[in-house]
Amino acid sequence: MVYQSYLWILGFSVISLACFAESLSLDTYLKYVDATSPYLQRSHYLMAQYDAKAESARRKQAWLLSGDAHWTRESPSPANRLFESPSPRTQTGISTQLSKPIWATGGQVSVTHSLHKFEQKSSPLSLLGSQQSMQPNPLYRRSFGLSYRHPLMQNTTGTQSKLDYELAKSTIKYHRILRAETDESFRLNQYNNYLIWAHYYAKALIINDRLMLATALYADNQAKYSNNLIEGLELLQSKHYLNQQKMGNSQAKLMLKSHQSQLASALNYPAILTSTPNLNLYKIPNLNTAPMTHSWRVIETLVAQKNTNQLLQNALSDQQKPKLDIVINADWHDRLNAQNRVSDYGLMDKQVMLEFSTPLGRQSIRAELDALSHEAHGIQQTINHELNQQIAHKNQLESDYQRLRMHYNLQTTAVDLHRQMVNEEQRLYEQGRRSLTFVLQSQDAEHVAKLAVLETAVHLHRIVAEHNALLDRLP
H/E stretch holding 393 reads: helix 363-430
Backbone angles phi, psi at 2, to 5 degrees: -65, -45
- Paired with 115 in beta bridges are 94, 142
H or E element at residue 69: strand 64-74
User: CA 218 to CA 349: how far, in whole Å?
Assistant: 114
Residue 410: partners with Cβ closer than 8 Å, 6 or more residues away:
none
Bridge partners of 326, per DSSP, are: 150, 354
Q: How far is CA 273 from CA 23, 27, 35, 138, 187, in A?
A: 11, 17, 19, 89, 21
Residues facing 92 on adjacent strands: 71, 117
Angle at CA of residue 440, ends 434 and 443, nearest 5° = 115
- Closest by CA to 252, choosing from 285, 286, 208, is 208
Q: What is the pLDDT of residue 38?
A: 86
* CA–CA distance, 38 with 268 (Å, rounded to integer): 11
Distance, CA of 454 to CA of 179 (rounded, Å): 34
Whose CA is closest to 319, among 369, 353, 355?
369
pLDDT at 436: 66
Q: Rounded to whole angstroms, what are the CA distances from 62 to 4, 145, 190, 329?
A: 85, 19, 45, 21
| Extents of the domains making up the chain | 2-52+168-303+378-470
**Alpha helical stretches, state H, 21-160:** 26-36, 38-58
Neighbours of 30 (CB within 10 A): 15
Q: Can you give the pLDDT at residue 22?
A: 86
Q: CATH topology for 2-52+168-303+378-470?
A: Outer membrane efflux proteins (OEP) (1.20.1600)
Q: Compute the distance between CA of residue 24 and CA of residue 31 in angstroms, rounded to an integer.
A: 11
**Mean pLDDT per segment of 10 residues, for the chain of length 475 residues?**
46 45 88 87 82 80 88 71 65 92 90 85 56 61 90 90 88 90 92 96 92 86 84 83 91 94 92 92 91 84 94 92 93 67 69 89 85 95 94 94 96 93 83 75 86 96 94 85
- Quote the pLDDT of residue 295: 80
**Which pLDDT score, from 0 to 100, does residue 7 have?**
44
Q: What is the pLDDT of residue 338?
A: 52
d(CA 314, CA 104): 16
Q: What is the pLDDT of residue 260?
A: 94
The pLDDT value recorded for residue 79 is 52
Name the residue among 172, 168, 167, 152 with its Cα closest to residue 314.
167
Q: CA torsion angle for 360, 363, 366, 367 (degrees, to 10)?
A: -160
Identify the pLDDT of residue 19.
44
